[in-house]
Structure 1
Amino acid sequence: MRKITAAVATALAVSASTLVAAPAAQAADVNLKVQTWSWERDGAIHAAYETHDYGVHPKDVTIRVREKGSDKVLTTLDLNDTDECASAYDCWGWSFVTDPVTLPEMGVYTMDVVVREGLPDERVDRDNGEFNYGLYPQLTATTERPWISYDNHRFDVSGTLVATDPNTREVKPFVGASVHYRGPISGNQGEYPVDEAGRFRVPVAFSEYSNDTLLDFSFGSAHKTLQLPFRQQELKLKLDTPVSAVTAPYGSDVPVRGKVARVADDGTEKPLAGANVTVGLQAAAPTRDDGTFAGLLAVMRAGTVDVAVDHSRWFKNPPPHSLRVSSAPKTNTFSPLTASVDKYRKVTFTGKLGVTEGSYPAGTTAKISIQHSTDGRSWSSVGSFTARYGTTFTQSPSKKGTAGSYWRLRHSAAALNSTSFKLGRKATQLLNDDVTPEGVRKGTTITAKGSLIQESGTSWKSFAGQTVRIYFKASTSGATWQQLGTAKTLDNGTFSKKFTAQQDGTWQMRYVDTVKTHYADYGREDFVDVR
């Protein structure tokens, strides 16, 4: 029997492939659980076959060799020694070969598997495998890259594939064949075609985690392996500030700046972008294109803090840069500090974060929380900002002021609370604000009127003697609000002002000329149609 041993079958299967079946005329087109390939032995080329289909006995199988892209059948082959397994079940996993094959010229052909050829239940699996008609393949593969490194981890490998023409015994390029490549990265493999000159080109890629730098190329019995050494580049870490020692208030953040460079393959120093640098337990921003980085050293205790570059297998990491840290607790202070609320309910803190003793590096900062309380005892954060020591800040939270509540700043890292401020003004409200009549002719007299009230304890009362501004915005495109006049509130809080209607537009009354004890208020927008 011509059965192939399991080891040989495995080797032969390297060149086997299963392609999408094309339609077959006058036969059921199927995808069988079989594979075919070409096998060179004793200076001749055979078709080889292996089945994993319990429903197909090899004795019922013939193989057709066709030109690629054509229905022209060049030869039909029978399998040898198929009587040595009694049933399809017994034949499972066995490999069989045909007699030597002779074709018109050296090249790559395709094979169809035909079951019960010529019978009513004939089945055809088209393009089941490739038939490589060429003897003694010779494979070369070279690269100009002498090693794998950060500078050299993506490049091309070029090579050639030639074979002996079985008919003429001439050695020439194996045009149309495909070289199999298997690389070090999972999934980095494939088939690469040979051109008219017998050349092929394979793009290869390595990562820093490529422990195996073997590149394997194969075609049939021809193999070529390249192994390139993995070269790590030296890294250099330089700190610009601070250099060695840090003295700063407890809970502050000291700026740490520096640069990371690498010694490239050509021996020159080049900035390293995207490197991760840690300052103690905190990660700095990745290095910029010029290799520089900026981070913060959180001063939480006295001792030593390391500045280090995260490990990467591309590089030989430099030793950490150690900083000696000294800090003094309970030396932080807000001085001076003021807080106010304006007529539009905007709360503003103005002050400076400093120390009662000691010093700090330039640029030292701290995270400050803005807190609010309704009773002066239970506090909640309503905003935060970064304050630079020794530099005046002006900050406002998004939360608006009320009739009366408590506000303060907190430096949480240093457990420092500022003085609390009770801020508030009386609320005001424009009521019954209206422009009448509406839907009038141009030139008609119209009246803007309403009333102004103020908060008084738990109730409201009229607000006399106040100025109300009256605004108008025309309906034309691009128009803006224009103040057309003012009105004084009477003892009962009412006001009115007459105007001549000129054009369509929107009116609004505004109380903005407030006393320091009251908030401002805007009335509703009232559209008046002028015909």
Structure 2
Amino acid sequence: MRRPLIAPLALIAGLATLASASPALADTPPVLPVISAVGADPNDAGYLDFHATSDSAIDPASVTAQLTFRVSGERPVTTVTGFTLVSGTPEDGTWRTTARMALGAHGDYDAVVDLADADGDHPAYLGRAVVRYVDLPVFSDTALDRTALDFEHQSVTATGSVSTFDPATGVTTSGWTGGTVYLEGTRGSGPWEVATTVQPDGTYQVTGPVHGYVYVYAVQQDSQTVNTELVQVSMTASPTRIVFDKPTDTAVYGSAYTVSGTAQYLSPTTNTWTPLPASDHDIEVGLQGPNGNHAYELTSGGRFSEKLDTVTGDTTWSALTGGYGYLAQSTADAHLHALSRSVLAWSDHTFTGAGAIRVKGSLTASAGPRPTGRVELQQSQNGSTGWTTVATVTPNAAGAFDAWHTLKHPTGYLRLHYSGSANATAAVTSKVHLTRSVTRITGFNASPEPVRKGGTLTVTGNLQRQNGSSWTSLSGQRVAIYFRVPGAKDGTRMATATTGNGGKFTVKLTAKQDGTWSATYAATSQYLNTTSAGDYVDVR
């Protein structure tokens, strides 16, 4: 009774076997085309390029491109067909439009590319790109007048021609529809550019203060740029130097002082040191000194200066220039040594009849430390020239001095003089005029010689005063007669005589013993004192 069930069971088993084997019989998933590198030819925007890969050959007839003009409002769409394989294989190659695209207007377009391969497969993602369908500037004959810049040649001039390539026609015409080209390079710490208008024939000339990688460029309709080849332009910094008018100098304590000098550069043209120009306001000299740190623009001839209102001690100025652009940096120092302001005073210049003068005074300073060194007593016959040092005196620790000096020729003018030192100024006092005349006794004689004891001795002589370079008789003056015994230090006044005409005086005395006779004239307010030579008389 159970046999009729066998066949259905076998059928069920077979169906189960077929069901378990069905996955191995399923279709393999297709390999879809991939589109990349969509865009206009960089050198000719009239053609559209793209790259495609697939597991089977791309069908050229299936390739279409939709280009939508990027404008506001209604956006015109142009369909482009007809593509040719230009490199690679149909399975992996680059395609280009067979003919130049005829787009309605110049500008940017959104391009979408679709295609199919031999299996009929389309890409999962369509090829997309922005196509720049604009005039292309074409540069030629580009040249620079120099590729090495220096301080005297800070600009580059670029010349050349630029033409316009139209992607719609493929025709190149002279001139640039954009109208302007730009010279760009580096200046300072950033880019720098200069614009110029292109001439109708397409030529241009543009000059700019640039260096580094220099090039000319033009701006297309879509604000993209096309550049010429980059040219390396070097720059050389010229050596500089600062020349102080007085690298080392002196000034008196309490005085004002101006430090000054010239900033120079070594000319790359003449190889000579040349003042930096005042016209370039970027060029400065920095000074660090008693007034702080300050920068000064140069005046004509590369000059600079700074005033110090009050000198209070030794001072140094440090100057700096250059170190930027076309100028190398240089530094220099100027040193100022402060001098004490010497004050020389002659407080007592008493003059004695014997020709001695008192040299009493002080050497001090009105500003700065007290000066040191000797003080000179100087004499001049006319008070203007011919000052001669006749004596010196050394001040004590407080600067005071007090001494007497006998003048060999007590006439003319006297003054005190301090010649100064490395740390103090010179100084001089006012003049002292010696108004009393020098006198002398000539022809003095005591006779007879020998003479008898108790006999009469006649003493005579002549009194004279100096009158310039000559001598004049002095009458009406009293002359004292002195006698000094042998061995005695001083003589004894024996008589007084008055000079007569010609300055002659005569005295008659009694001879008592051997000894020396002389005549002395005492100083007055007009005349200096004098003593004659002695005359020894033998008394028998």
Which band: TM-score by shorter chain? 0.3 to 0.5
TM-score with structure 1 length normalisation?
A: 0.37
Larger radius of gyration: 2
